[in-house]
């Protein structure tokens, strides 16, 4: 019976060791995922800021052009709207 309990103890110790290694691996994996998520978040924020700046610049440009030539801007917008309307209605004919 002593041999039997020794084998059971060895299995228990082996399982505990395996559990410890798995926990360490899980912690390292979690840390790696958190680091990557942080890098991704920083990169995404950079892209968002850059796109926001470009959109603001484009908006200022369009506003200035419309203020400089309101009639031409209105006719251009009307023409674009007519073309889009024709393209969308073209599939219904």
Q: Which two tokens stand for residue 26?
A: 């899980």
Q: Using one digit for the tens of pLDDT, what is the confidence trace for 14-48?
A: 778 889 999 999 999 999 999 999 999 999 999 99
Render pLDDT for 40-71 as a digit per residue (tens, 0 to 9).
999 999 999 999 999 999 999 999 999 999 99
Q: Read off the pTM.
A: 0.53
Place of tokens 């924020």: 45
Residue 58 to residue 46: CA distance in whole angstroms: 18
Angle of helix 70-90 relative to helix 2-68, nearest 10 degrees? 130
The one-character DSSP state at 12 is: H
Neighbour count for residue 78 (Cβ, 10 Å) = 10
């Amino acid at each position: 019976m002593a041999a039997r309990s020794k084998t059971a103890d060895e299995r228990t110790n082996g399982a505990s060791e395996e559990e410890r290694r798995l926990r360490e691996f899980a912690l390292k994996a979690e840390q790696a995922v958190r680091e990557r998520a942080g890098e991704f978040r920083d990169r995404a924020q950079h892209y968002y800021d850059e796109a926001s700046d470009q959109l603001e610049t484009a908006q200022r440009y369009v506003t200035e052009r419309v203020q400089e030539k309101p009639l031409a801007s209105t006719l251009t917008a009307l023409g674009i709207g007519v073309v889009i309307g024709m393209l969308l209605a073209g599939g219904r004919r």
